[in-house]
Amino acid sequence: MKAHVAKYPADRSRSALIPLLFVVQRERGGWLDNPGVNFLAKFLDLEVTDVWETATFYSMFNLRPIGRHHIQICKTLSCKIMGEPDITDHICSKLGIKPGETTDDGKFTVTMVECLGSCGTAPMMQIGFDYYEDLTLEKVDKILSDCK
């Protein structure tokens, strides 16, 4: 965590807030809980409300528990016209959930997201931080069965 703070001028440690929120999110099992946020506020010498103020602005910070594999399907135009709806239907019916939901065993969460900069390899999705591109239904089956 100190390495993150060291990137910025000494009196500007707040700049490390977003990178460190990712660290806290990872350490707290994929979402920002109160103990994690309180710890970070203390570490950066910020008010807890300052941390929440920033954290709640950004879509990649989860404010609720989330599945071990966070499937983020791009729903923006290039993916949409290249077959996203079929991919989404397939994944959702396979997992028995709707976008925005988590499977009962806590293994998968499906979220619809906006363009991830892979429009040339549409349709695409991101699981965690990994990109999966040029998706087909067969590819999706393989990717899901590889998720442990």
Partner 1 sequence: MEIKALGCEPLSLRRVFIKDGHTLDVYRKDGGYKSLKKAMTMTQDAIIQEVKDSALRGRGGAGFPTGMKWSFVPRDNPKPKYIVCNADESEPGSFKDRYLMEYDPHALIEGMLIAGFALGSNTGYIYGRGEYRYLLDIMDVAIKEAREAGILGEKVLGNKDFSFDLHTHTGAGAYICGEETALLSSLEGFRGHPRMKPPFPAIEGLYASPTIVNNVETLTSIPQIIEMGGIKWRDLGTEKSGGTKLWSISGHVKKPGVYELPMGYADMEKFIMKDCGGMLRKDKDLKAVIPGGSSVYIMNAGQIIGQNVTLDYEGLVAAGSMLGTGGMMVMDETVDIMESTKNLTEFYKHESCGWCTPCREGTDWLVKIFNRISTGEGRPEDAQLLLDICDNMEGKSFCPLADAAAWPIQSAIRQFPGDFKKWLFDNVSSNGVKPNVQ
Q: Which residues bind ligand FES (CB under 6 A)?
A: 74, 76-79, 115-119, 122, 124
Tokens of 52: 């929440």
Total Cβ atoms within 10 A of residue 148: 6
Place of tokens 């019916």: 93
Question: Of the two residues 115 and 144, which places its CB atom closer to partner 1 in the complex?
Answer: 115
Burial class of 145 by CB neighbour count within 10 A (0 to 12, 13 to 18, 19+): exposed
Stretch that binds partner 1, among 11-19, 31-39, 99-107, 135-143 (CB under 8 A): 11-19
54 CB-near residues (< 8 Å, 6+ apart) = 17, 18, 21
Count of residues near partner 1 by CB under 8 A: 41
Tokens of 43: 């570490």
Instruction: With beta carbons less than 8 A apart as the criterion, state whether 128 and 69 touch.
Output: yes
Out of 32, 37, 61, 67, name the contact with partner 1 by CB under 8 A.
61
Contact set for partner 1, span 117-146 (CB under 8 A): 117-122, 126, 129-131, 134
Out of 26, 27, 60, 64, name the contact with partner 1 by CB under 8 A.
60
Taking CB within 5 to 8 Å according to partner kind, which of ligand FES, partner 1, none is near residue 22? partner 1
Which amino acid is residue 120, in one-letter code?
Answer: G
Stretch that binds partner 1, among 16-24, 34-42, 100-108, 135-143 (CB under 8 A): 16-24
Query: What are φ and ψ of residue 71, in 5° steps?
Result: -90, 120
Binding residues vs partner 1 (CB under 8 A): 7-9, 12, 14-19, 21-22, 53-54, 57-61, 75-78, 80-82, 113-122, 126, 129-131, 134
